[in-house]
Structure 1
Amino acid sequence: MKKFKQYKNICRAAALAMIMQSSIGISYANPNEPASDVYTKTQGINQSPTQTIKISGLVTDSDGNPIIGATVAVKGTTNGTMTDVDGRYSLTVQKGDIVTYTYVGFNQEEKEVGNDTTINIRLLTSDVNLDDIVVIGYGQQKKSSVVSSINSITSKELQVTGRSLNNSIAGQISGVIAVQRSGEPGWDDAEFWIRGVSSYAGGTSPLVLVDGVPRQMSNISVDEIETFTVLKDAAATAVYGAEGANGVVLITSKRGKREKTQISFKTEHSIVTPTRLPKILDSYRYLSLYNEAKWNEEYNPMTGFVPQYSDEVLDKYRSGADSDLYPNVNWLDLLKKNSYNGRYTLSVRGGGERVRYFVSGGFYNEDGIYKSETIENYDANLGYKRYNLRSNIDMDITKTTKLAVDLSGIYVQSNAPSSTASTLWSAFTLFPVHIVPMKYSDGTNSDHYFADTDRYNPYNLLNLRGYTKNWEATAQSKVSVEQRLDVLTEGLYARANISFDSFTQSRTDRTKRPHTYYASGRDTNGDLIKKTIAEGSALGNPSTSASGGHKKIYIEGSLNYDRTFVDKHAVTGMILYNQKEEQFQNNSGLNCLPFRKQSIVARGTYNFDNRYMLEASFGMTGSENFSKGHRWGIFPAIGGAWFISHENFMKPVEDYLSTLKVRASYGITGNDNLPTDLARFPYRASLNQDNSGYNMGISPGAAGSATNWIGNGITENTFAAPTLSWEVEKKFNLGLDFGLFRGRIEGSVDYFHNKRSDILINRQTVPSASGFRNNPMENMGITKNSGIDGNLIAKQNLGEFTLTGRFNFTYAKNKIVEYDEIPQRYAYQQYTGNSINQPRLYIAERLYTPDDFNITTNANGSKNYTLKDGLANPNSPVAPGDIKYSDLNGDGVIDSYDETYKHGFYPNNPNMVYGIGINLDYKGFYAGVFLQGAAQASVNLIASPKNFVPFYNGVDYSSGRNFAMDRWTAEDPYNQDVLFPRLRTTNNSHNLKQSTWWYRKGDFVRLKNIEFGYQFNKKTISKYYMENLRIYVQGSNIAVWDNVKYWDPEQGNANSGASYPISGTWTIGLEVTF
């Protein structure tokens, strides 16, 4: 076996040597023999024997593994050799010569010959190999010939530590803006957009295709993925017609290769903890703060003030002597814990000349952070289990016929409390700390004295209300055939594939209710005086709901052409047809009908001498959403590129500017993803029975009666819109690819400008007198979206160390051009001209101070406050410590005309994201750090004011968090540097207007990943029949720096902090390949 392996390596190296010799005329050493001296005299150079020396050494990769067949040559000559099976070489050179070391897929290294005769070289892998094949829409291209804006990343670079691939792409790949809003297992998928948002009506999510078939990406195992590719401009996405406007994601799964069978096993185990949780006030401080709010509300009396909670009562809460009647319960600390997740993957990959295969099986398990109890044989904690299975088989049926059969399955089982995450987290943060203990000391269940859906004891909600189980099964299949047609003409071939996907879901609910009590005191024996709050009920029988599923059929056929003439003129062409059908089970009305779509696609490319590239394409899509005559549309695009660095005049600077390529494209794409509130087939009117009644005039009853006759009737609920069609986006892109210092620095940058028109909107300017129940839909909205994205990669050897740096960024800013907006009285209130979802706010200038008022004092010392002349009337009673708003229109009154879109804050989603990564390798040891950032986003602290503002619904339906202490006080009435204005015992509508006071910049920098590991040397582990062995420790979401402070800024408004938090993980992993 060892001899066979050595022979195979020798043949491989010899083949590479002959290729190099034939292409660049290098004489070479036989890698089967000890490296021999080879020296070819170059014409025009006077070489003296006394100047020659013999150098030798070892050529390895960054992990220290020998590289077989690397070319070692004197620059500018044909004098060279190749490394042998151990990566060693020997070469006779002259002092002062520049020796180059090259190998396919690695950056070139150069070394000047001095006195040292032993020169060892480590080659760094190239991230931009121009001969690499990249995935494009409905095909593949060499990276060097791509004219469109495309970025690709491997699964290894994604560093997925959790369940969802969606959550790992933020900051990893340029052009993608992604935000994770929750860490709840099974419901933690990030929202993501390609180059931002361009529509305020229709869907904004990109089209996702897995192995060329439209599919979901959230439950794909990352260990099954080969590449993750993002298509951004029209030249790349126009072929997808009415589905390409929001960008396209192409996920390619791993496939077999012509190599010996490899068996890989990977396991990861993680500890999961929330990145940020609120800190809750204890009962003593919370109730003391309520007394302060009551004092504020009574305008600070000096005498006669009766606090809600006396010092005696407060001392009982502080002492904890009677926790039944004077409890102090931090519900969040009581009911949360760290959790665990684990991942296991086993795969087999290999093949020969006729058959290649990749088979993989995976299991992922994650628990929630709830500290639940197992009661009545069920555990109410969150639980998520996923099983993945994939088999990709490629067969060469004949020399001209290829067959591929892909099968995959995903099975998911999840468990959750019967209460939703939003209900539980509202309870954790809202349920008062001072009302009841978790349980009474006698073991009986406690609850709020006024228990309703929002005031249940959080312990009961989590553990004693039942549970929900959900099962999901996905089966996916695809059969593809490729037939070479060179018998007709060289370079012609046909492809066809058909896929069938099935998804089924079933959910079981079992609910119960505990018998609960509320204790109001103790009797003379010291026993609790309790009253029943709710009669208990046993765990009910299982009820099945949300069962159903869907099936999808996708068919595609294409005729393709790929040929190069006279070694310089490369031509490709494609004509393709596809159709898809999706049908949902258990849907009612029009949604029970199948969803269908058809497309015709064409593309042609021309490449002259790998210097000048031209590409033209179009997608013609037929969509069922629209009426006849409006269903089909053509979406063309054109792109070109100039590979400047391949020009002869660039050769003098090729050592410094090794790659330079300019790209440009323009085209039209579409979006037929209708708004979610719009019924299918909007070109048809829908009629509803109106039960509110029509006024039919005077009743025909008794003479003299003047009673109106009200009768039911039929109304036109949806106005027919036969001219509706898809949204259209015109995309322009200008890009630059570059490489410096022989590939040590590589990158690209793109500018884009997109104009979306014909956005589907309800007309705003239709008068109510028209009688429409709902205003008609029309294609009339317009937006613009422009920005810049790019990436940079740098690698450098520093002695035995290899340093790699990565940086990518995306900036996208949109603007509403047409909204059919009713003209506003003031320009600053016009939504048109602003960003999509731009908040409309009052401008908070500051807090009122005593200097703003004429003050009189009552007998008990309380104050009367009257605003001084010249200050705008706030339309509600105010006092020092309340918010002072800007009177924008100058009419002396604060009202809705003082709200504005011009205030310096942004929508909730960031306009900019970026990522910075640094990796260091040393003799197999490696360490890496990755930072993710976002900018130009805003967070509204009072998106849900009851979850944030102290005493919003009174003392017994609120829970103060520690930041409630950051408030205005009468003792320091001029202090403006506070979070909360003057506290009151209930909500203060004046202070809780949506204003700049409550907005924070959502910018953040996150330590997204940190990893330490060791890659064992291949030569060391080969004796144990191993090809690869790696152990590592990885952290994810380790730290975040931001201006929000109260919850993780990536969660956005986050239900004002009452939502399942984003989690951070520490992972230990092992990866081995045999």
Structure 2
Amino acid sequence: MEIFCTSSSSVLRRIHNEKKQLAKLILIAPFLFGTSAYAIDSNGLNATNTTITQQKSRTITGTVVDKDGEPIIGANIIVKGTSNGTITDINGAYTLEVPDNAVIQISYIGYLSQEIPVKGQNSIKIHLIEDTQSLDEVVVVGYGTQKKGEVASAISSVKSDNFVKVPTTDAAQLIRGQVAGLNVVTPDANPVGGSQITLRGAGTLISSATPLVLIDGVPGDLNTVSPDAIEQIDILKDGSAAAIYGTRGTNGVILITTKSARGEMPTEVDVNAYVATQQITKKLPFFDAAGYRQLVEQGKAGAQDEGASTDWLDEVMQTPLTQIYNITLRGGSKNTNYVASFEYRGIEGIMKRTKNQMYYPRVEITHRMFNDKLKLNANLSGYKQTYFAGSDDDNGFNKEVYRNAITYNPTTPVRDAEGNWSESPAKTDYLNPVALVEEVEGENQAMNLRMHASASFTPIEGLEIKYLVSSNNYYQTRGYYETTKHIASYKNGRTGFASRGTKRKVDDMSELTASYRKTLKDHTFNILAGYSWMRTNWQFYWMQNFNFPSDDYTFNGMGTGQALKDGRANEFSEQKENKLIGYFGRFNYSYKGKYMFAASIRHEGSSKFGANHKWGNFPSVSGAWSIKDESFLEDSKLISQLKVRAGYGITGTEPGDPYMSLNTLDFGTYVYYNGGFIKTTRPGSNPNPDLRWEKKKETNVGLDFGFLQDRITGSVDYYNRKTEDLLWNYSVPTPPFLYNSMTANGGSIRNTGVEVSVTVVPVQTRDWQWITSMNYSTNKSKLLSLSSDQYVSNDYSDQGWLPEPMQMASHRIQVGEPIGNFYGYKSIDIDENGHWIIEGADGKPKPIEEQVPEDKKIIGNGLPKHFLNWNNTVRYKNFDFTVTMRGAFGFDILNSAKLQFGSPIMLTRGNIFNTAYDKVYGKVPLADDQGLQYVSYYVEKGDYWKIDNLTLGYTFNFNKWLKSLRVYGTISNLATITGYSGIDPEVGIGGLTPGIDDKSRYPAARTYTLGVSVKF
């Protein structure tokens, strides 16, 4: 009997390879892994399971071939519901003993899987049909979706199955290391902190570099939605893909699609739960109590034995316990679907009193009516967040706690003999870290409520008219209090200090789109037109007060403080609003799936722009050629995919403040008049009617490929992006201007780079699968100009600020140079007395005491030139094992902790590194009187390679009501290979001052997770 398999599904398109040698390797692979349930006979490989059935059985034979009749080698054939199976040999043949009533399952990567009843047959020939779903796979693009095979721009897509399994507060860490060019950095383990994201380098100077984030088409943030609710994340990387979003698309676009229910389906329940704990990855080499006492014995200046032995870092750290629970309910009928979920995330940090609690509720309902011509969707979601406020800001962690924990004298007791906190008020910036934790009360509470609804009408086939309305509301209230026993109360001569504040941000959006898709023989057209309106309202106020009669009411008794009544405390409030309106359209064309063309335009206006530049145009064009579908490659068994892409697009960036272009008023000045002070009104800034958007012009050329039945797939992209009309703060003359500074457009910067992604399936058998993927990216930036025809600036600008006693800039941006350069003195030696010798402006050595500003040089760069990520997934039967690794190379780090605490002179301010008296350059230690200097000795190579995430899981398959149960364990930030001597080389890479390892940073941590996932 001959059977043609035409149903079921797969997730990858695989074209059969007739290369015999590769096939033999595939067949032998199970034995390399020690699969003892198979045996080889003289006819090749008959992998017969040794399990003997007790039922009446028969032996069936046959072959498995593709559509051209070519044998498929290594196809899996298994008796449904058992482990009894085999794989086809090099001729595509198989032999298998089965029960008379058996159903056999046939599968092979790249083909549609099938189930066939035996029904008394002795010979079954099977034709497998290629799975083309890889090219038909849907990716999300601006205002719609496209088949992957039709995409002509640089777009990357990551499904939830491939997310990094790690407890996280934002969605960025789910795709860390999986998208070439998208660099996700987690500079510390603060549970309230977030990820830093850069896409294709630094393309702005003072504007935000964060990509636009849209969740189901509605603007949001990376922590807006629960990571467990995300189905897919798509990244629009180049200008041709992002231009449809106009002034918001310069930094790229991240499109998040949440999980939903589609069509008629029984009720499903998913339960996910996991617990995690952390430990610090590395401690800096400070003197312990015994070592410190040796310094006292040596008579070192500043060393003083106070009789105790205290591990201050241990005093302020904890063993955290993170708990995350998620339940999702989804189902529906032919016409109505629903999704409801609730999640609790309680993420604790390794520092005491650092905990982030979040609750994520979500309800979504979709209803179809009038024979599916009308689809209605309503979604209500958001989160509630609560975390400890250890300082008077949003960070949730007081950096002074960690810094003082590593520098406080280890012989000082936590409390003195009278039970009071041990303090040294005379010392600058020297505070008892335990008291900093215990003598404060603070809480930040935030709530995000997202409401959006849409109606889609399809009056005729191919035409969809959609109206979307949304409101995204964020509210935050924070309170902070320092008790009367807090060191600040003593130093500032006050009794208690309180701060209270609130934020409110509302984004209202309304969008109307119409799309029409039509296929005429070999021609496919897709036309999109739309209108978008968005309003953002921001409100903020805060107040401070001190001198309270009691600590009992903390920040909840603001009115009981005296300072506000005396006019000595601060208060502030403001409200801002801006609007953004856009008209946009896109045209897509495909001929036979071989030649693809796309063009888009967005005409957009913003209230942030000056009167002379309210509107702008943002066009794009892209095209692709599927060479594989040409006649000369159509029958190739070696090449399974080959497509060339090219695109060009213009995007923009809005100014940050909505009122930079306008006349503003300042009410903060007082004058003495007629015997008293009165408040005056005056202009608050220089208006700029010519203020406009930054304009990025980007060209992208790419190649998508697949070889050996798609066992090897990947892409290569080259981009060249130039950002013009950079927003910058210029010095202007007074008069004619009222103030000597103005924000205006001028200057340009260029970024070029290459991105390569490769995925290989080295092993694919019935029991074994190994998928390995690697991606690489490199970026080179160059500041082309800082001036324009109207506004002239110096060719350089110093950025960043190192704290006292150095008090100087850390970086310099300069025309002709890349962003991220460290700028300081180049140390080349040390003299016999332990003082630095630097290289002067003339290139000759000179003592550090003779330094002049002209001696400063570029001494490193804080932005990595190369990023490399390597991800591996191995599956054996029900076991799965994943390891993700990533690295950054070609960059430097300013080790600010070593700069300050690796110098003997800092012993007068507290504890120091136990390496502070080591020889420098192999000669002599630094002198006790050598002051802190910003020299290149403290700028270290930052190259690193991380074993970032390791996960081992096992899936149990049960009956119909309990579909599966997966148990897994994960270790995150497992190991780091680096020559950097600080805590962790993964430091901040954003802004104009990248690469600084903050001496007060929240420490890096290793996370251990145990989780369970149940599907009912």
The answer, yes or no, to whether TM exceeds 0.5 is yes
Offset of 1:1013 from its aligned partner?
A: 1.2
Find out whether 1:666 has 2:652 as its counterpart.
no
Distance (whole Å) between structure 2 residues aligned to residue 801 and residue 927 of structure 1: 11
The residue that corresponds to 2:65 in the other structure is: 73
Matches within 5 A, 1:1027-1038: 1027-1038=963-974
Give the partner amino acid of 1:906: N
What is the CA distance between 1:248 and its match in structure 2? 0.5
Moved more, 656-665 or 1055-1064: 1055-1064
Q: Distance in 1 between matches of 2:997 and 2:506?
A: 35
TM-score of the pair, normalised by structure 1: 0.75
User: Secondary structure of 1:235's match?
Assistant: helix
- C-alpha separation in 1, matches of 2:260 and 2:143: 17
SS at match of 1:239: helix
Structure 2 Cα separation of the partners of residues 690 and 551 of structure 1: 28
Structure 1 residue 56: Cα displacement: 11
Query: SS state of the match for residue 741, structure 2?
Result: coil
The equivalent position to 1:729 in structure 2, one of 684, 696, 709, is 696
**Paired position in structure 2 for 1:983:** 927
Return closer, same or farther for 1:74/1:664 CA change in 2, 3 Å cut-off.
Answer: closer
Which residue of 216, 238, 260 corresponds with 1:211?
Answer: 216
Which SS does the other structure have where 2:947 is aligned? strand
Q: Note the 1:763-802 alignment, pairs <5 A.
A: 763=730, 766=732, 773-797=739-763, 800-802=767-769
CA offset digits 1:487-541 (Å, max 9, x no partner): xxx4222011101122222223343233999xxxxxxxxxxxxxx989999999x
Alignment-mate amino acid for residue 741 of structure 2: N
CA contact (8 A) 2:893 2:997 kept: no
1:930-956 Cα deviation digits (max 9, x unpaired): 11111233211238954554433x52x
- The answer as to whether partners of 2:239 and 2:651 remain within 8 angstroms in 1 is yes
Write the deviation string for residues 642-701 of structure 1: whole angstroms up to 9, x where unpaired.
011111210342x21110010000121111143xxxx5322224455796999xxxxxxx
1:560 aligns with 2:515: yes
The 8 Å contact of residues 501 and 540 in structure 2, kept in 1 or not, is answered as no
Q: Which residue of 1 aligns with 2:856?
A: 899
Distance verdict in 2 for CA 1:119–1:768, change over 3 Å = farther
Q: CA deviation at 1:884?
A: 3.0
Determine if the alignment matches structure 1 residue 326 to structure 2 residue 302.
Answer: no
Contact 1:447–1:516 (CA<8 Å) still a contact in 2? no
On the 8 A contact 1:71/1:82 being kept in 2, the answer is no
Distance 2:130 2:326 in 1: 26
Question: Secondary structure in 2 aligned to 1:286?
Answer: helix
Alignment correspondent of 1:681:
659
Alignment pair present for 1:107 and 2:113? no
Selected match of 2:286 from 277, 280, 284: 280
Q: Is it true that 1:1013 corresponds to 2:953 in the alignment? A: yes
Listed as ranges, the matches of 1:339-738 within 5 Å are: 339-371=320-352, 381-399=353-371, 400-417=373-390, 420-434=397-411, 436-440=412-416, 442=417, 444-450=419-425, 454-463=429-438, 465-486=439-460, 490-514=461-485, 545-566=500-521, 568-586=522-540, 592-653=575-636, 655-674=637-656, 679-686=657-664, 688=666, 717-738=684-705
Letter of the structure 1 residue corresponding to residue 268 of structure 2:
Q
Alignment-mate amino acid for residue 491 of structure 1: G
Q: Give the match's secondary structure for 1:951.
A: helix
Q: Secondary structure at the match of 1:682?
A: coil
- Offset of 1:584 from its aligned partner? 2.2
CA gap 1:833/1:537 in 2 versus in 1, 3 angstroms: closer
Q: Structure 1: which amino acid aligns with 2:539?
A: Q
- Spell out, residue by residue over 1:297-355, the C-alpha distance to the aligned partner (whole angstroms, 9 max, x if none): xxxxxxxxxx777xxx8xxx5xxxxxxx4223221123212211111111112223211
Q: 2:911 aligns with which of 944, 959, 970?
A: 959
1 CA distance for matches of 2:77 and 2:346?
Answer: 46
Q: 2:20: which partner in 1?
A: none
Superposed displacement of residue 738, structure 1: 0.6
Distance 1:474 1:891, change over 3 A: closer
Give the secondary structure class of the aligned counterpart of 2:746: strand
Secondary structure of residue in 1 paired with 2:519: strand
Counterparts of 1:621 and 1:593, CA distance in 2: 20
With normalisation by structure 2, the TM-score equals 0.79
Equivalenced residues, count: 883
* Residue number in structure 2 paired with 1:32: none
Would you say the 8 A contact 2:63–2:93 is kept in 1? no
- Partner of 1:1070 in structure 2? 1012
Q: Is the 8 A contact 1:56 1:119 kept in 2?
A: no
Give the structure with higher Rg (CA).
Answer: 1
Q: Deviations over 1:189-233 (max 9, x none)?
A: 011021121111222111110100111122421110010111011
Instruction: Indicate if the aligned counterparts of 1:421 and 1:1060 stay in contact, CA closer than 8 A.
Output: no
Q: Pick one of 786, 792, 815 that aligns with 1:819.
A: 786
Matches within 5 A, 1:849-888: 850=832, 879-888=833-842
Counterpart in the other structure of 1:301: none
What is the rounded CA distance, in whole Å, between the counterparts of 1:141 and 1:632 in structure 2?
29
2:157 matched to which residue of 1? 152
CA distance in 2, matches of 1:606, 1:558: 19
Alignment of 1:927-1006 (within 5 A): 927-942=881-896, 945-946=899-900, 949-952=903-906, 955=908, 957-968=909-920, 975-976=922-923, 982-985=926-929, 988-989=931-932, 992=933, 994-1006=934-946
8 Å contact from structure 2 (residues 882, 950) kept in 1: yes
| Residue matched to 2:803 | none
Q: Secondary structure at the match of 2:717?
A: strand
Cα distance, 1:1041 vs structure 2:
1.6
Instruction: Indicate how the Cα distance of structure 1 residues 331 and 611 shifts in structure 2: closer, same or farther if over 3 A, else same.
Output: same
Conservation of the 8 A alpha-carbon contact between 1:55 and 1:92: yes
User: Contact 2:641–2:707 at 8 Å: present in 1 too?
Assistant: yes
| Residue segments in structure 1 that go unaligned for 5+ positions in a row | 1-12, 25-51, 59-69, 111-116, 295-306, 318-324, 372-380, 518-531, 695-710, 851-878, 969-973
Within a 5 Å distance, the mapping from 1:733-744 to structure 2 comes to 733-744=700-711
Q: Is the 8 A contact 2:389 2:479 kept in 1?
A: no
Note if 1:925 corresponds to 2:849.
no
Q: Secondary structure at the match of 1:130?
A: helix
Q: Does the CA contact (< 8 Å) of 1:732 and 1:752 recur in 2?
A: yes
1:748-767 aligned at under 5 Å gives the runs 748-763=715-730, 766=732
Measured against aligned partners, the alpha-carbon deviations of 1:946-979 in whole angstroms (never above 9, x if no partner) come to 4554433x52x221133324344xxxxx725x8x
What amino acid sits opposite 1:572 in the alignment?
A: N
Question: Retained in 1: the 8 A contact 2:864–2:891?
Answer: yes
Residue of structure 2 equivalent to 1:197: 202
SS at match of 1:501: strand
Identity of aligned residues (%): 25
Task: State the 1:784 CA deviation.
Answer: 0.1
Give yes or no for contact 1:330–1:433 (8 Å, CA) kept in 2.
yes
1:336 and 2:317 aligned:
yes
Provide the secondary structure at the position in 2 that maps to 1:997.
helix
Distance (Å, rounded) in 1 between the aligned partners of 2:534 and 2:641: 41
